């Protein structure tokens, strides 16, 4: 699935010569996953800049290529760049490459600004779904949830449908589509429509996916609010994973460089890539953090045993064999060292009282304890001026678990927030209300307990070490979204019709006709494959839960996960916040 963005340039735009790329900053991360900088260098890319207003930095190149998302504000910046440039170098060629799609609106804007004619090429690089791992695709469309639920802007859904069409062009028509939620319905409608548009150009590819499941994020608002308790989830919660990389405080990693010990501690944070290509990480990423320690020490024993092997190596042949394994072993050892350090860092936090109290409150909410009263912990946190996002997460969680807050409680919280963190957050609170994350309890009936019980969202005896249920990812709470996925596979949604009706939006099933002769003849015991698409984002813990289901021996189902954005409660809430003062600058 990985492609070289230069294939476009080399194929379509011949004889380019030296180039400088001006990046829309947001794109550098995702592009880093598919084209390394070194690769770009090989293709005569001499310089890379970040798009900003004013004059372009000087560079001795023939071509300037803008890699941008189709956004009006970026067009204005480009226009400014081009204007200030023209006077100095008249011989340069400008190109613009839209990611993921060309936009008439943007071209119109460039035309209005009077720079459209300055571009030798205007093209698009269709990059909807970016591979983040063997089983994980994300569009990294940060504002998708906000646009869909706050602003009624379905651009991201259009890109989703387009992306799914591309996926089907590559991996065959997906015969069955299930979905739950308004956005899911919209995407499915667009896909069916697009299929009609391409009528006649049927692809003759044996379908890789048996089922597509489209899930709206707003059918399960609870899950991302809860603190993820898998290893990867915690790394994301505490340090934030962006585009497959995490930045960690350097102190723990300092002493490893022997000989440099005398030097000062490094001040630059340690950047690590996290994906399943790293054997150890693949093994522990989805484990409950409480099981990671054991896994690491087991691994440590295996590795040191492997190193001990050298004493047993007697013949030249044996030594040679040992040496040939050395690079692999050394990589494993450094991987182990890294993850031991990370685990220590995390452990410092998870064993803290604050973390424990926070988790206790979360679990109380999830189990429905005292959700209709003002929670003293939240109150204390506000008094202590803890980070606002933390407060909002807890508040939203309480609201979701109580099917809305009682007016007194609701207004008390809101007043507390406005008085403590500032009146400007009234806009954020309004946003959260609009997204149903916070709401006033209107009916006296609270559905959440019904949903919790029917779908078994709370498992009292979650086994963290050797899990037998997805609830291990939150040490007791089974993510609703994943439970729905699990039920769909067996025994089917018909068994939970009542609960589905309690969740927002329609649920549906569509079938897509396959060309004759492409119907899979399934071998006995062969797994079915489902593509689960989370519209509005998915958390690492949910991914872990789905991976757990894939690995369950008797599930018979393999899951590939796709989403508009990889998120956690913090980044999610952040995307819904409005800060009027930031608009001043």
Partner 1 sequence: MTFITANWNPLGEAFYRKSELYEMCWNLRDGLRDCLVAAAPYGGPIALLREPVRRSPSSRPQLEIYSASGVSIASFPWKSGPVVHLGWTVSDELLCIQEDGSVLIYDLFGSFKRHFSMGQEVVQSQVLEAKVFHSPYGTGVAIVTGSSRFIMATNIDDLKLRRLPEVPGLQGKPSCWVVLNQDRQTKVLLSTGSELYILDNTSCTAVSLPGLAPQGGSIVHMSVSFSYKYLAVLTDSGHLWTGPSHLQDKMSEVDTKKLTPPKQMVWCRRPKSQQPSVVLMWDRLLMVVGVCQDTIQFPTEDQCVLVGEMDGVRIISSTNQELLQEVPLVCQEIFKIASMAPGALLLEAHREYEKSSQKADEYLREIKEQSMLGEAVSQCIEAAGHEYDPNTQKSLMRAASFGKCFLTDFSPGQFVTTCRELRVLNSVRESSVGLPLTHTQFKQMTLQVLIDRLVYRQFYPLAIEMCRYLKIPDYQGVSRVLKHWASCKVQQKDLSDEAIARAMCAKVGDSPGVSYSDIAAKAYECGRTELAIKLLDFEARSGEQVPLLLKMKRSQLALSKAVESGDTDLVYTVVTYLKNEMNRGDFFMTLRNQPVALSLYRQFCKLQEQETLKDLYNQDDDHKELANYYVTASYREKRLESRLSLLQSAVDEYNKAKNEFSAKATEEEMRLLRFQRKLDDEKGAGLLELSLQATMEALLALGLYKQAEQLYRDFRVPDKRYWWLKLKSLAEKEEWDELEKFSKSKKSPIGYLAFVEVCMKSNNKYEAKKYVSKVTPEQRVKAHLAISDLDGAADAAIERKNDSEIATVLSRCSAADRLLIERLNRASTAKK
In the complex, the smallest distance separating the C-beta of residue 385 from partner 1, rounded to whole angstroms, is 7
The tokens for 530 are: 């489902």
To the nearest whole angstrom, how small is the minimum distance from the Cβ of residue 421 to partner 1? 6
Q: How far apart are CA 520 and CA 579, in angstroms?
A: 52
Using CB under 8 A, which residues numbered 161 to 180 contact partner 1? 161
Annotate each residue in 197-236 with x if it binds partner 1 (CB under 8 A) or - if it does not, as one string: x-xxx-----------------------------------
Q: Which residues contact 515 (CB under 8 A, 6 or more apart)?
A: 173, 202, 203, 204
Angle (nearest 5°) at CA 556 between 550 and 558: 35
Q: Is the distance from CB of 207 to CB of 518 less than 8 angstroms?
A: yes
Q: Is 2 in the site for partner 1 (CB under 8 A)?
A: no
Using CA atoms, how far residue 336 sits from 19, 97, 302, in Å, is 41, 41, 11
- 353 binds partner 1, rule: CB under 8 A: no
The C-alpha atoms of residue 218 and residue 505 are separated, in whole angstroms, by 9
Q: Does 155 bind partner 1 (CB under 8 A)?
A: yes
- Smaller CB distance to partner 1: residue 124 or 309? 124
Q: In a 10 Å sphere around its CB, with 0-12 CB exposed, 13-18 middle and 19+ buried, how is residue 454 labelled?
A: middle
Binders of partner 1 among 545-584, rule CB under 8 A?
Answer: 578, 580-581, 583-584
Query: Residue 419's CB: how many other CB atoms inside 10 A?
Result: 10
Does residue 515 interact with partner 1 by CB under 8 A?
Answer: no
- Taking the complex as a whole, the smallest distance from the CB of residue 579 to partner 1 amounts, in Å, to 9
| Enclosing H/E stretch for 52 | none
Q: Find the shortest distance in angstroms from Cβ 210 to partner 1.
A: 25
For residue 160, the minimal CB distance to partner 1 (Å) is 10
Q: Kindly tell me which residue out of 52, 320, 408, 415 binds partner 1, with binding defined by CB under 8 A.
A: 415
Measured at the CA of 495, the angle between CA 489 and CA 496, to 5 degrees, comes to 95
- The correct pick among 27, 65, 110, 190 for binding partner 1 (CB under 8 A) is 190
**DSSP label at residue 198:** T
Q: Least separation, in Å, of the C-beta of 388 and partner 1?
A: 11
* Residues within window 383-402 making contact with partner 1, judged by CB under 8 A: 383-385
- The interface with partner 1 within residues 56-95 (CB under 8 A) comprises 70, 72-73
For the chain, the straight-line distance linking the first and the last C-alpha, in angstroms and rounded, comes to: 40
Q: 114 phi and psi, to 5 degrees?
A: 80, 25
Closest approach of partner 1 to the CB of residue 542, in Å: 26
Distance CA 547, CA 534 (A): 15
Where do contacts with partner 1 occur on this chain (CB under 8 A)?
70, 72-73, 101, 103-105, 108, 147, 151-155, 157-158, 161, 186, 189-190, 193, 196-197, 199-201, 379-380, 382-385, 411, 414-416, 418-424, 426-427, 430, 578, 580-581, 583-584
């Amino acid at each position: 699935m990985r492609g070289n963005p230069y294939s476009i340039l080399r194929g379509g735009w011949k004889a380019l010569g030296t180039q400088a790329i001006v990046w829309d900053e947001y794109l550098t991360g995702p592009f880093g996953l598919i084209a390394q900088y070194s690769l770009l260098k090989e293709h005569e890319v001499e310089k890379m800049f970040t798009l900003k207003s004013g004059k372009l930095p000087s560079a001795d190149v023939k071509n300037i290529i803008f890699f941008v998302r189709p956004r009006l504000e970026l067009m204005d910046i480009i226009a400014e760049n081009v204007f200030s440039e023209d006077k100095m170098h008249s011989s340069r060629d400008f190109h613009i490459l839209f990611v993921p799609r060309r936009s008439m609106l943007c071209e119109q804007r460039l035309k209005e600004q009077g720079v459209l004619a300055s571009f030798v090429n205007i093209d698009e690089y269709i990059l909807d779904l970016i591979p983040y791992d063997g089983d994980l695709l994300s569009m990294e469309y940060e504002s998708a949830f906000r646009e869909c639920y706050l602003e009624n802007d379905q651009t991201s859904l259009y890109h989703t449908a387009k992306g799914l069409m591309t996926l089907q062009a590559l991996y065959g028509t997906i015969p069955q589509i299930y979905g739950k939620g308004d956005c899911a319905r919209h995407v499915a409608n667009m896909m069916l429509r697009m299929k009609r548009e391409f009528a006649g150009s049927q692809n003759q590819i044996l379908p890789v996916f048996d089922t597509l499941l489209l899930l709206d994020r707003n059918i399960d608002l609870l899950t991302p609010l809860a603190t993820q308790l898998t290893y990867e989830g915690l790394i994301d919660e505490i340090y934030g994973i962006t585009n497959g990389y995490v930045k960690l405080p350097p102190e723990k990693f300092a002493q490893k460089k022997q000989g440099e010990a005398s030097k000062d501690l490094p001040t630059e944070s340690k950047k690590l890539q996290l994906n399943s290509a790293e054997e150890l990480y693949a093994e522990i990423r989805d484990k409950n953090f409480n099981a990671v320690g054991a896994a690491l020490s087991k691994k440590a024993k295996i590795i040191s045993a492997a190193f001990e092997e050298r004493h047993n190596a007697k013949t030249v042949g044996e030594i040679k064999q040992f040496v040939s394994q050395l690079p692999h072993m050394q990589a494993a050892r450094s991987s182990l060292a890294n993850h031991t350090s990370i685990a220590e860092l995390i452990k410092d936090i998870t064993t803290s009282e604050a973390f424990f109290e926070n988790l206790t409150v979360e679990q109380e909410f999830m189990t429905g304890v005292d959700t209709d009263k003002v929670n003293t912990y939240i109150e204390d946190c506000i008094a202590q001026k803890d980070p606002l996002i933390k407060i909002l997460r807890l508040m939203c969680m309480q609201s979701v678990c109580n099917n809305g807050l009682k007016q007194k409680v609701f207004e008390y919280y809101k007043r507390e927030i406005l008085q403590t963190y500032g009146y400007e957050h009234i806009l954020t609170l309004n946003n959260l209300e609009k997204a149903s994350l916070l709401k006033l309890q209107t009916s006296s009936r609270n559905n959440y307990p019904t949903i919790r019980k029917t779908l078994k969202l709370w498992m009292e005896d979650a086994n963290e070490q050797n899990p037998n249920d997805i609830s291990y990812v939150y040490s007791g709470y089974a993510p609703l979204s994943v439970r729905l996925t699990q039920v769909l596979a067996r025994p089917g949604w018909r068994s939970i019709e009542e609960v589905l009706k309690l969740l927002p939006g329609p649920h549906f099933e569509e079938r897509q006709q396959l060309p004759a002769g492409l119907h899979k003849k399934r071998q006995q015991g062969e797994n079915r494959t489902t593509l689960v698409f989370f519209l509005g984002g998915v958390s690492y813990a949910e991914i872990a839960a789905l991976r757990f289901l894939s690995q369950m021996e008797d599930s018979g189902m393999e899951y590939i996960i796709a989403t508009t954005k990889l998120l956690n409660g913090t980044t999610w809430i952040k995307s819904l916040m409005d800060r009027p003062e930031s608009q001043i600058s």
